[in-house]
Structure 1
């Protein structure tokens, strides 16, 4: 898998089983995993925006190298995560979207849908996401443009 990382992870009620599966795999690979919730036994529907904010705050302030957010489809989660300045969250549901999110967009948060992916596919995509390097080059200029958008500045 490469270097070990500090990873913050969260899931709403739809992603609890997938979260447990991924935490087991990640800790087995030597990563430091910070489980931010929700937790088994909470027993109710969980709003995802606070979970997204929590994971993203840990990424932007340096307490985590990367973040993982799990929901039903992942669609609302990726929207919420991308409202946080400094976050580049990718909704990853196949090899192509996973490679693009890291290679072209230098995503620092992966979002996956537990109702979209089985556990083994999600694990494979997460491994790919964690090991895919950012390509830089022309993509770096685009990241600078995204940062300008976040700040309300003119695009370079």
Structure 2
């Protein structure tokens, strides 16, 4: 699978571990940074990964920051993206099966390396169930398209 990965400075060490784990499994992994512990704006990385997925350059994404929250919020600003924060394998599986999430976000200050690898594995091996969930995902997409058509409020 072709996977985009990115992190902020808080998760650089965990990203290296997850990246190596994915490469060892035979995945193609494109690293969007950061590559050291110097402070960065995590929205820039999250948005770059999300845009690459929407453009079809990657099948899935893994984003890491201190909690996973900021990366999820940022990636979800890209139209067509469903990014889900997961700190357990069940949530990672449900993100794919029920929500057709393309990106999983992890918190380096919340989980350890072994759990992170398990979460990513479960996320990548899970598939969207469709069925009743398809109607819900379609409703999200419909709302997103309707919002994109509205004029922006001043200062927004």
**TM-score, length of structure 2 as denominator length:** 0.91
Distance 2:121 2:93 in 1: 11
Gap regions ≥5 residues in structure 1: none
How far apart, CA to CA, are the structure 2 residues paired with 1:129 and 1:67? 10
For 1:45 and 1:53, locate their aligned partners in 2 and report how far apart those are by CA, in whole Å: 17
What's 2:90 paired with?
96
> The residue matched to 2:79 in structure 1 has which SS?
coil
Distance between the aligned counterparts of 1:116 and 1:11, measured in 2?
Answer: 14
Matched, 1:24 2:31: no
Counterpart for residue 111 of structure 1: 105
Once residues 44 and 131 of structure 1 are traced to their aligned partners in structure 2, the CA distance between those partners, rounded to angstroms, is 33
Q: Partner of 2:154 in structure 1?
A: none
2-structure distance, mates of 1:76, 1:12: 10
**Alignment of 1:8 onto 2:4:** yes
Partner of residue 153, structure 2: none
SS at match of 1:90: strand
TM-score by length of 1: 0.91
Distance in 2 of aligned mates of 1:59 and 1:78: 14
Partner Cα distance (1:98, 1:62) in 2: 21
Q: How does 1:26-105 map to 2 (within 5 A)?
A: 26-40=22-36, 43-105=37-99
Q: Which ranges of 4 or more aligned residues in structure 1 deviate by more than 3 Å?
A: none
Unaligned runs of 5+ in 2: 148-156
1:57-84 superposed Cα distances (whole Å, 9 cap, x missing partner): 1100011000111000011111111111
User: Displacement, 1:95?
Assistant: 2.2
Task: Output aligned runs, 1:117-136, within 5 Å.
Answer: 117-136=111-130
SS across alignment from 1:62: coil
Distance 1:120 1:23 in 2: 13
Aligned length: 147
